[in-house]
Structure 1
C-alpha cells in the first residue's frame, strides 16, 4: 500500500510519516513538500492508494488544493489535514469529495481511526463536525440506523459512487448508465436517507458508521 503525504511543513510532515510507519500496516510512504511535485510524480506513473493533504499549501487559497486534486486525480482518495477546525470547512472538503478531514490538533488515536476508516473505504469526519448543525429528526435517525432504505443493487452501486465523491457523469460512465438514470437513482437515495443533497448523505453514512466495505459486503442482497 502506498500513501502520499503532501505537506510543506517538514516537521509536521515527518510526524505524519512517523505515525504512518508505526501503524502496524504494511505501507510505503512517499513525501512531497509541494502539490506540483506530487502531481508530477503521479503523472510520471506513481500510483498511490491514498493522499494525505495539508489543506493550506503554497500557491493555493482556501480549499483550492482539494479542488485541484479532485479535478486532476479524482481516482485518488484524499484525507485532508488542517489547523482549521471550522465545521463549515470540513463540510466543504467533504462536499468536494475528500474522504476525510483530520484537525492537526487531533491526538494520534484519532488520526489512526481516520486512517483505518478511509483505507477501508469510509469517510472520516471529526467528532466536532458531526455534533454541530441542525439536530437529526426522528425520521433521519431511523433512516440512518438502518441505512435508510431498501435499495436495488444498482442504487447501491450509485451510493458507492456518491461516497467516493464521484459526479453523476462519472458514475454514469462507470456503470454504463445514462445521466438521467443516475440522477433518478441519486434522488431515490437522498429520499431514502431523508437528506436533501449528496454531502448530507455522506454525513448520514458517517454518523451511522458505514463504510464502502460495509456497502460492498451487502452485494447480492437487495436491501441495505
Structure 2
C-alpha cells in the first residue's frame, strides 16, 4: 500500500476504514481537500462507493485507487466525476505524481488508459488551444461542471441557466474539443494538461 509520508508534501492524512465514518467526520465539520478512495470499501460493490461519495460530497475531489485496471472502469470513474485513477499495481512514484496533480487541480489518468479509444490526432492535440482562446466565462463554468461529473440538470441549477442553454454549451464544447461525449472531453483536457484551476480562472469574455 502506498504511503503519503515520503511525498514531500505537507499533508494531514485521516484514514477511515468504512465510508460512513468518512461521511460522519465531514458532516461534523472536517474540511477535506481530497479523498483517496479504494473502490473495495466494506458494504459497497463496484463503483457504488464512488457514486456514494460523489452524491454526498460532490465538492470534494476524489482520487480512485483500484486493483481493477480495466480501461472501461477508468473511463466510468471519470464519467462519475473522479479527478483521477491510480491502479494499485502502479509504482509509488506514479501514485505520488497523481496525488500532486490532483491536489494542484489537474485530472490524472493512468498512461495505459489515455491511449484506449482516443487516438491522439493532431486535431485533438490542437483542440484545447483553440477552445481555450474562445471560451466565454459561462462556457468555462459549464466545462468545469463536465469535469466534475455533474449532469446537465445540476450544472443548469448551479449556474441559474435553462437545461437547453447548458445543452447548447456542452454541444459547443464537445465539438470544439473534437470529441463525442463528456468523458472523452475530460480525457482530451487531461492530454492537454488542463487543470481544474485553469477552468476556474476568470475569462475576459462576456457571460452568456
Task: State the TM-score, normalized to the length of structure 1.
Answer: 0.84
Please, which of 158, 177, 192 is the counterpart of residue 142 of structure 2?
158
> Residue 185 of structure 1 corresponds to which residue in structure 2?
169
Contact 2:135 2:203 in 1 (8 A): no
Query: How many Å separate the matches in 2 of 1:196 and 1:220?
Result: 25
RCO higher in structure (CA 8 A, sep ≥6): 2
> Residue 55 of structure 1 corresponds to which residue in structure 2?
39
> Residue 112 of structure 2 corresponds to which residue in structure 1?
128
Matched, 1:116 2:100: yes
Query: How many Å separate the matches in 1 of 2:8 and 2:130?
Result: 33
Task: State the TM-score, normalized to the length of structure 2.
Answer: 0.90
> Residue 100 of structure 1 corresponds to which residue in structure 2?
84
Contact 1:148 1:194 in 2 (8 A): no
Matched, 1:77 2:77: no
Flag as ranges the 4+ runs of structure 1 deviating above 6 A: none
List gaps (5 residues or longer) in structure 2: none
Greater per-residue strand proportion: 1
Question: What is the root-mean-square deviation in Å for CA atoms of aligned residues?
Answer: 2.0
Contact 1:143 1:149 in 2 (8 A): no
Q: In the superposition, relative to structure 1, how do residues 75 and 216 fare at CA in structure 2: closer, same or farther (>3 Å)?
A: closer
Query: How many Å separate the matches in 1 of 2:172 and 2:82?
Result: 23
Matched, 1:194 2:178: yes
Query: How many Å separate the matches in 1 of 2:171 and 2:195?
Result: 20
Secondary structure at 1:23 match in 2? coil
Query: How many Å separate the matches in 1 of 2:6 and 2:151?
Result: 35
Which has the higher mean CA deviation after the structures are superposed, 124-133 or 157-166?
Answer: 157-166
List gaps (5 residues or longer) in structure 1: 1-11
> Can you list the C-alpha shifts for 1:166-221, whole angstroms capped at 9, x where unaligned?
2222222322222221111111101110111111100000111111223344x234
Please, which of 62, 65, 70 is the counterpart of residue 49 of structure 2?
65
Q: In the superposition, relative to structure 1, how do residues 106 and 207 fare at CA in structure 2: closer, same or farther (>3 Å)?
A: same
Matched, 1:140 2:124: yes
Query: How many Å separate the matches in 2 of 1:164 and 1:37?
Result: 24
Q: In the superposition, relative to structure 1, how do residues 206 and 134 fare at CA in structure 2: closer, same or farther (>3 Å)?
A: closer
> Residue 188 of structure 2 corresponds to which residue in structure 1?
204
Secondary structure at 1:112 match in 2? helix
